[in-house]
Amino acid sequence: MKELMLTNHAVARGAYEAGARVLSAYPGTPSTEIAESFVKYDDVYAEWAPNEKVALEVAVGAAVAGARAMACMKHVGLNVAADPLFTAAYTGVNGGLVIVVADDPGMHSSQNEQDSRFYARSAHIMMLEPSDAQEAKDFTKLAFELSERYDTPVLLRLTTRVAHSRGLVELCDREDVKLRPYEKSVTKYTMMPASAILRHQVVEERDIELANMVNTLDVNRVERSRRGGKIGVVCSGVVYQYVKEALPDASIFKVGTVYPLPIKAIEKFASSVQQLYVIEELEPFIENQLKKAGIKCKGKEIFSLQGELSVLKILEKFNRNVPVPTPAKVPGRPPVMCAGCPHRGVFYVLSKLKLTVNGDIGCYTLGATPPLSAVDTVLCMGASIGMAHGFKKATKGVSRNVAVIGDSTFIHSGITGLINAVYNESGITLIILDNSTTGMTGHQDHPATGRNLKGEKAPAVLLDDLCRACGVKDISIVDAYDIAAVEDAVKKGLASPEVSVIIAQRPCVLLDKRVKPFMETDGCRNCGKCMQIGCPAISRTADGVKIDPDQCTGCGVCAKVCPFGAIKEGVRK
Amino acid sequence: MNILIVGVGGQGTLLASKVLGRYAVLCGKDCKLSEVHGMSQRGGSVVTHVRIGDKVHSPVIWAGAADVILAFEVLEAARMKHFLRPGGILLVNDVRILPMPCITGAAKYPAGLKEHMLEDINGAYFIPAGEIAEQAGSVRSANVVMIGAMCRLFGFDKAKMRQAVSDCVPEKFAEINLAAFDLGYNRVKK
């Protein structure tokens, strides 16, 4: 029986069927659902780690101990995990180790468009790339097999259109994979110069062995066109699916192992077609390797380095006669903070005080959008604190800037930045927007929420205690909806020469499923002040401001900014 | 068969796509769906692609290739209507949700969108899905009202689509959702 499955769920299913025992991950679109799905199977262990580096270290540990293990992350998460990644290539594994990395061409929910395939090449780790849900499950199982056979971690690369699409998947039973015995080996698992020098040789030998082996691996295959076309296309991942629809007369070399590439097999394919194209999203990763091997092909001279490809883009480039309809010019609908979002009032205050705001990654990145327009900088997870410190040092403490970070991001990689600010005495003001969840990725727990990935009770890191332990003396806890208290705390923090931390608390409004109060206007003078908070429940008409009772959650921030006291709580019928 | 589901984050477009996916399975067809998770879900435009056929490759529909667009909001219908193929069906929930640029006054919600679409597109239909859903017992079943209407307009197998609805909603809401389906179905005529 086939089941319609999200590709991320199919990856989890593949890991389950392959007998994987341990999974560790940090949430990140488009990879989050793998861990959420895997944890629901019996006889497995899965967890949210505080960040991707820890997640990968946990998975390496489990693999060395003899279990099949997996770590999952988005593309930028692999930057965080790059340190263990490169050396895990040296140690190799014991039980199979699969690292899932989900890229986001087109940046549906990311801060950059980096191409993770380069990690495979520079760390010398094999990388498989499936093109739909069924392949994702099959490739995951294959990845575990290859990992053990060649004593190497294996990367599985997804992109948003693969990870977040659904397709029919044939389910199989779980393999009974025994825990392999762990044997101490300093030369294999203790990476210091003497042993690492030896392991580097092993890595190179393995690379050559894999580069030969992939030429006959059946996930790298030729599909001849029955229509007798003269062109050949090399592609992988979702692009393969686009090519199948756009160019039915082309012969296709479908690449399953993007690293190492089956160069010899592609060379043979190239000689069988008149013109060879490489169609790939983002960087010319495959193309450049083919060119280096002397295989003539066209790629990025036709296709962009940016964004996603599509059936239509391919049709256009090949001058196929298709009408390309033009979209209507209508106002955009950018994402917004939800009605009742506890971040709104904080950003209203920061905007009002005209501060420079070093922001971070999460729902609160939306504090950069109009009308709040409060956030100045967003770089990467945890960067708000380091950057705020840098602003202070550059301006000899004169800059009027604050760092703003969410609770999950603070745990992920904000703590080290805070320790630096205390140690190197920059006196920054840090606001932790504590909404008790990882919001943007869809409400995942983390070490400070008191729940684990299974939803069970777990020990909770107390953020104020943690900051105190980092050496912060000036810590205030405020209600995020109480904008007067927020303003007061921010002003005090700015005036203090020491590092100040303000923890603005309120659970994410979407977590609270109870019927909520709502606000209504009474005697509105239509001054428009409440429009400055950018609440989607509030709109302005010629007769004054209207608050949509269906969207409103009664947070009351609008009432607090109204200079005429014209917004009050209504009564639900 | 290409169905594009468009709306505003939080309107329940994902459930609609799940129902259609389930329908495909019940019909023994191949099916692929492409969804949006993450940032755009926060009140932004969301687009879900549903493709059903004997063999489906791309999970994504391209402009000019949608047989049906199921639009949960008028502006979103206007934004994505170029995805409709000639002769396709555009079914719109007749409701306006102001995007932030219109709330702040940076842009104006265009006037006459509905009238233009009705004039330009033969297969354009507008129904007040929210109001109809309220009659069924819950405003939250507006998405299922839309599926009911689409089922009739496009001539899907009604019994299988009803089955797909009840397979995809929690058991205690099955009755309300099936009522919503029937009200949507009976509301439209091709």
Q: Is the pLDDT of residue B13 over 90?
A: no
Q: Is the pLDDT of residue A47 over 80?
A: yes
Mean pLDDT of B165-184: 96
The per-residue pLDDT for B39 is: 62
d(CA A474, CA A468): 8
pLDDT tens track for A148-170: 999 999 999 999 999 999 999 99
Q: Is A184 on the interface with B (CB under 8 A)?
A: no
Is the CB of residue A94 less than 8 Å away from at least one CB of chain B?
no
B109 vs A contacts (CB less than 8 Å): 331
Give backbone dihedrals phi and psi of B127, rounded to 5 degrees, phi first. Answer: -135, 145
* Residue in A with minimal Cα distance to B57: A241
Question: Which pLDDT belongs to residue B139?
Answer: 87
A316 touches chain B (CB under 8 A): no
Mean pLDDT for the stretch of residues A197-218 = 98
Residue A563, preceding bond cis, omega within 30 degrees?
A: no
Identify all chain A residues contacting B59, using CB atoms and an 8 Å cutoff.
Answer: 132, 161-162, 165-167, 238, 241
Q: Is there a contact between B39 and A108 if contact means CB atoms under 8 Å apart?
A: yes
Interface of A with B in 445-504 (CB under 8 A): none
Q: Is A363 on the interface with B (CB under 8 A)?
A: yes
Query: By three-state DSSP, how is residue A489 classified?
Result: helix
Number of residues in chain B: 190
Q: How far apart are CA B153 and CA B190, in angstroms?
A: 6
pLDDT (average), residues A171-177? 97
| CB-based contact B25 A2, cutoff 8 Å | yes
Q: What are the phi and psi torsion angles at A282 (to 5°)?
A: 65, -125
- Per-residue pLDDT for A550 more than 90? no
Nearest to A337 by CA among A516, A534, A529, A482: A534
Residue A417's pLDDT is what?
A: 98
Q: DSSP character for B80?
A: H
Which amino acid type is present at position A530? C
CB contact under 8 A, A332 and B75: no
A10 touches chain B (CB under 8 A): no
Q: What value does the mean pLDDT take over residues B97-101? A: 92
Give the pLDDT confidence score for residue B189 in this predicted structure.
84
Q: If pLDDT is split at 50, 70 and 90, which confidence band does A573 have? A: low
CA A185 – CA A61 distance, rounded (Å): 14
Interface check for A338 against chain B (CB to CB < 8 A): the answer is yes
Amino acid identity, residue B32? K
pLDDT of residue B175: 95
- How far A443 CA sits from the closest chain B CA (Å)? 11
Chain B neighbors of A312, CB-CB under 8 A: 62-64
Q: State the pLDDT at residue B38.
A: 66
SS (H, E, C) A408-454: HHHHHHHHHHHHHHHHCCCCCEEEEEECCCECCCCCECCCCCCECCC
Contact check, Cβ <8 Å, B42/A337: yes
Is the per-residue pLDDT at A11 higher than 90? yes
Q: Are A382 and A412 in contact (CB under 8 A)?
A: yes
Contacts of A525 (CB under 8 A, 6+ apart): A544, A564, A566
Residue A514, pLDDT score: 86
Q: Are A245 and B57 a contacting pair at CB < 8 A?
A: yes
Is the CB of residue A326 less than 8 Å away from at least one CB of chain B? yes
Which tens digits make up the pLDDT trace of B119-128?
999 999 999 9
Q: CB–CB of A534/A344 below 8 Å?
A: yes
Angle at A379 between CA A374 and CA A384, to 5 degrees: 60
Question: What CA–CA distance (Å, rounded) separates A398 from A445?
Answer: 38
Q: What share of chain B is helix, strand, coil (3-state, %, to 5)?
A: 50, 20, 30
CB-CB under 8 Å, A322 with B64: yes
pLDDT for residue B40: 59
Q: Establish if A64 touches chain B: CB-CB under 8 angstroms.
A: no
Average pLDDT over residues A179-199: 98
C-alpha to C-alpha distance for A31 and A161, rounded to whole angstroms = 11
Tell me how crowded residue A363 is: count the other CB atoms within 10 A of its CB: 25
Name the residue among A9, A52, A127 with its Cα closest to residue B35.
Answer: A9
Say what the pLDDT of residue A55 is: 98
Are β-strands A538-541 and A544-547 bridged in parallel, bridged antiparallel, or unpaired?
Answer: antiparallel
Give the one of A164, A334, A336 whose C-beta lies nearest to B34's C-beta.
Answer: A164
* Residue written as token pair 């495909």: B24
Q: Answer whether residue A512 shows pLDDT above 80.
A: yes
Inter-chain CB proximity B37 and A324 less than 8 Å: no
Which CATH number fits the domain that encloses residue B14? 3.40.920.10
What ipTM does this complex have? 0.95
Eight-state DSSP code of residue B187: H
A407: pLDDT strictly greater than 90: yes
Residue in chain B lying closest to A545 (CA): B103
Across A445-460, average pLDDT: 97
Distance CA A235, CA A256 (A): 9
Q: Look at B44 and A327 and tell me if their CB atoms are within 8 Å.
A: no
* A473 CB-side CA count, 13 A: 6
User: How many domains in chain B?
Assistant: 1
Please state, in angstroms and rounded to a whole number, the distance separating the CA atoms of residues A445 and A30: 17
Question: In terms of residue numbers, what domain contains B80?
Answer: 2-187
Number of CB pairs < 8 Å for A and B? 175
Q: What is the pLDDT of residue B142?
A: 95
Tell me what the mean pLDDT of segment A28-35 comes to: 97
- pLDDT value of residue B158: 97
Label the pairing between strands A22-25 and A45-48: parallel
For the residues B56-67, what does the mean pLDDT come to?
96
